Amino acid sequence: MTQQIDSLKLAAQKREGAGSRPSQRLRKNGWLPCVVYDSTGKSLAIQIQRHAFEVLLRNRQGQNLILDIDIEGDKTRKVLLKDIQQNRIDDQLLHADFLEISMTRKLRISLPIRLVGDPVGVTQQGGVMEHLLRSVEVECLPGDIIKEFVMDVAGLSIGDTLSVRDIKADPKITILTMPDIAVVSVQMPHFEEEAKPAEEAVEGAVEGAPAAEGAEAAAAPAAEPGKEKESKEKAKDGKGKESAPAEKGKEPKEKGKEPKDKTK
């Protein structure tokens, strides 16, 4: 399913001077500074009414906009809107770039993909739809440019996927994006699968702590009896060494003690 882009007209004037100050003066007076590039890269500075351009863009955001720019004192040029610059604070338009095109020469552009319908895998099976690719590169004549590709996803169940090859395009439009790239899929929610291992890891850590303490406690008594026996033997030997000098010291003292002279 495709939607054709309308061709629109816009009045313009050639712009004199370049730089920030002349551009600021134009904006204060309600003009929008612009540049038109031709196929050879040459540029032409123009100015258009900013309000008229804002009204034109209001319902055409994201489109490949083709315009007939009627330049005062020059010819009417068919152009493709390539880029717009806006103020980040209030979104006010600051500048626009246009590319002059030929209606008989193919060009490469990007076209958005819009999904319609509610997948049965979401409404009846509790799945989640993932929009993986939002635009594709195409090649076609300017007159064959469409607004967007539309894909119906109502029949998708859990595990189903639509790829670039499933896009229904007019034969006049050549899709350049690889056909195997997935555009949309319906899958089971991921958060439940991610939460389960985390919970198991916490439980394992809590259960493993007492087991480790028990293992250490069991290992400690096994090594202790040998150490205790060895320390007791050392203590015994120590007592033997200490008692021997004490007894030796006592014996000389007793031997050295002279008996009383009974004759006196």
Question: How does pLDDT run across 34-65, given as a tens digit for each residue?
Answer: 999 988 889 999 999 999 998 888 877 667 88
DSSP 8-state assignment for residue 102: -
Which of 66-75, 178-187, 238-247 is modeled with the greatest confidence? 178-187
What is the pairing mode between strands 2-4 and 146-152?
antiparallel
Question: How does pLDDT run across 192-208, given as a tens digit for each residue?
Answer: 555 555 556 555 555 55
pLDDT for 201: 59
For residue 218, pLDDT beyond 50? no
Residue percentage of the chain with pLDDT more than 90: 50
Assign 2 a pLDDT band (cuts: 50, 70, 90): very low
Q: How many whole angstroms separate alpha carbon 264 and alpha carbon 262?
A: 5
Assign 8 a pLDDT band (cuts: 50, 70, 90): confident
Q: Please, what are the domains in the chain?
A: 2-101 (2.40.240.10), 108-191 (2.170.120.20)
Q: What is the average pLDDT value for the chain, to the nearest integer?
A: 79
Burial degree of 210 (CB within 10 A; 0-12, 13-18, 19+): exposed
Q: How many whole angstroms separate alpha carbon 244 and alpha carbon 236?
A: 13
- Residue given tokens 């770039």 in the structure block: 97
Q: What is the mean pLDDT of residues 10-15?
A: 92
